[in-house]
Structure 1
Amino acid sequence: MNTIQMVLVVLVAFLAGMEGILDQWEFHQPLVACTLIGLVTGHLDLGIILGGQLQMIALGWANIGAAVAPDAALASVASAIILVQSGQGTKGIGMATGIAMPLAVAGLFLTMIVRTISTAIAHIMDADAKKGNWRKINMWQWIAVCLQGLRIAVPAALLLAIPASTVKYWLGLMPTWLNEGMSIGGAMVVAVGYAMVINMMASREVWPFFAIGFALAAIKDLTLIALGAIGLAMALMYLALESQGNSNNSSTNNEGTGDPLGDIIDDY
């Protein structure tokens, strides 16, 4: 990796760290972060594949109340760097996926440090607000957001400082059983992440779409573009039924749930 590529990787890591709080451009999402790192390092295909694997895991991660989800940004950036530095190609995706999990948990420690500092900054901003010093409030806000970016950029820079030959040597010391175990574990975690999403959003209105989707995915002749077109068509059909159901409910005294499939089931 040359100097320009390293600078671009650190920039992607910085943006991913900030987006973990801002949620504006979704740079912290594994599919986006890994794809961008793969793009700037010349391994776009590896970045997309790894990002897709990690995205399936992170689908079920969410910050709920005081419970903070594992750090998807650090897991994505660090595992993508390790995959590129390892030089293993697609064979190293399972290993990178397995490494991403402990990295995501370790990222919680960095998150705790930065959020503790941000709490102190919030008190400083409160004091400046009482004085009406809006310029300092804006300055401290930028400092707090940049700290979130440095939370990912600094570990990324440290990983890039390790020569690729050293990374390959360390990974070569891993026994076969550990490498295969991490690949299997990474695949299992992907399934768990998707199951968490289904558990949160599944209802009688959307279960038919899950069933149809799994059935269509088993047809090998259908490409991802074809599956996407079918999914888009089904979504448009659902929205059309929903709008039609809402208009019918407004013109009659019958009460509806707003879910067209649910109303149809209730009628039967």
Structure 2
Amino acid sequence: MNAIQMILVVFIAFLAGMEGILDEWQFHQPIVSCTLIGLVTGHLTLGIMLGGSLQFIAMGWANIGAAVAPDAALAGVASAIIMVQGNLGEKQIGTAIGIAVPLAVAGLGLTMIVRTLAVAISHIMDKEAEKANFRAIGMWQLIATGLQGLRIAIPAALLLAIPSSLVKAWLSAMPAWLSDGMTIGGGMVVAVGYAMVINMMASKEVWPFFAIGFALAAIKDLTLIALGAIGAALALMYLALESNGSSKNNSGSNGTGDPLGDILDNY
């Protein structure tokens, strides 16, 4: 990786860190961060494949109350850098995924540090608000957001500082049982993440579409564009049927045509 590529990767990592709080452009999502890192380093296809696999895992992560989910931004950025630095191929993406999961958990420590600092900054902003010093409030807002970016950018820069030859040697020195186990484990984690997503959105109205999509995905002649067109068509058909059912049921009953929606509305 040359100097320009390293700067771009650190910049992407900085954006991913900020987006973990802002949630505006979704740079913290692995499918975005890994794809961008793959693009600037000349490994676009592998970046998309890694990001897509990690995205299935991250979709099952959520902040609930005081419980903070693993750091998807650090997982995507760090694993993408390791993939590029280690020159991992398509069959070794599972190793990068296996490394990404513990990195995501380790990232919680950095998250707690930055959020603790953010609490102190919020008190400073309260004092500035009492003085009606809006310029200072905006400055501290940028500082707090910048700390979130540095939370990912600094580990990314440290990983980039490790020579690629050393990363390759370290990955090559891994015993076969460990590398194969990480590959298998990485695939299993992706499957578990996908299962969690399905479990959250599962309903009797959705299952038929899932079954159709699963069957169509096995047809090798269909491209992703074709599958996307079929999915969009099925979604439009579902919306049209739901609308027709809603208008008919509203004329003669209190139903909406969506049994799941009726249950939620009456809960």
**C-alpha contact (below 8 Å) 1:242/1:260 kept by paired residues:** no
Q: 2:190 corresponds to which residue?
A: 190
| Aligned partner letter, 2:137 | I
Deviations 1:135-176 (A, max 9, x none): 111111111111000000000000000110111111111001
SS of 1:37's partner is helix
Q: 1:256 corresponds to which residue?
A: 255
Q: 2:61 corresponds to which residue?
A: 61
Flag the 1:130–1:28 CA change in 2: closer, same or farther, 3 A: same
Q: 2:162 corresponds to which residue?
A: 162
- Name the CA distance, whole Å, in 1 between partners of 2:88 and 2:201: 37
1:94, distance to aligned residue in structure 2 (A): 1.3
Q: 1:85 corresponds to which residue?
A: 85
Structure 1: 5+ residue stretches without partners: 264-268
- Name the CA distance, whole Å, in 1 between partners of 2:23 and 2:239: 26
| Aligned partner letter, 1:259 | D
**C-alpha contact (below 8 Å) 1:61/1:69 kept by paired residues:** yes
Greater alpha carbon shift after TM alignment, 177-186 vs 47-56: 47-56
Greater alpha carbon shift after TM alignment, 195-204 vs 241-250: 241-250
**C-alpha contact (below 8 Å) 1:86/1:92 kept by paired residues:** no
Tell me how large the CA RMSD over aligned residues is: 1.6
| Aligned partner letter, 1:126 | D
Q: Does 1:145 align with 2:121?
A: no
**C-alpha contact (below 8 Å) 2:203/2:260 kept by paired residues:** no
1:125, distance to aligned residue in structure 2 (A): 1.1
- Name the CA distance, whole Å, in 2 between partners of 1:213 and 1:91: 25
Deviations 1:61-89 (A, max 9, x none): 11122111110100000000000011132
- Name the CA distance, whole Å, in 2 between partners of 1:249 and 1:258: 6
Paired positions, count: 262
| Aligned partner letter, 1:79 | S
1:172-251 matches, cutoff 5 A: 172-250=172-250
Q: 1:266 corresponds to which residue?
A: none
| Aligned partner letter, 2:228 | G
Q: 2:5 corresponds to which residue?
A: 5
**C-alpha contact (below 8 Å) 2:249/2:256 kept by paired residues:** no
**C-alpha contact (below 8 Å) 2:50/2:97 kept by paired residues:** yes
1:16-55 matches, cutoff 5 A: 16-55=16-55
Given the two structures, how large is their TM-score scaled by the length of structure 2?
0.94
| Aligned partner letter, 2:52 | G
- Name the CA distance, whole Å, in 2 between partners of 1:75 and 1:114: 17
Q: 2:121 corresponds to which residue?
A: 121
**C-alpha contact (below 8 Å) 2:71/2:104 kept by paired residues:** yes
SS of 1:65's partner is coil
Given the two structures, how large is their TM-score scaled by the length of structure 1?
0.93
**C-alpha contact (below 8 Å) 1:245/1:260 kept by paired residues:** no
Q: 2:73 corresponds to which residue?
A: 73
1:255, distance to aligned residue in structure 2 (A): 1.5
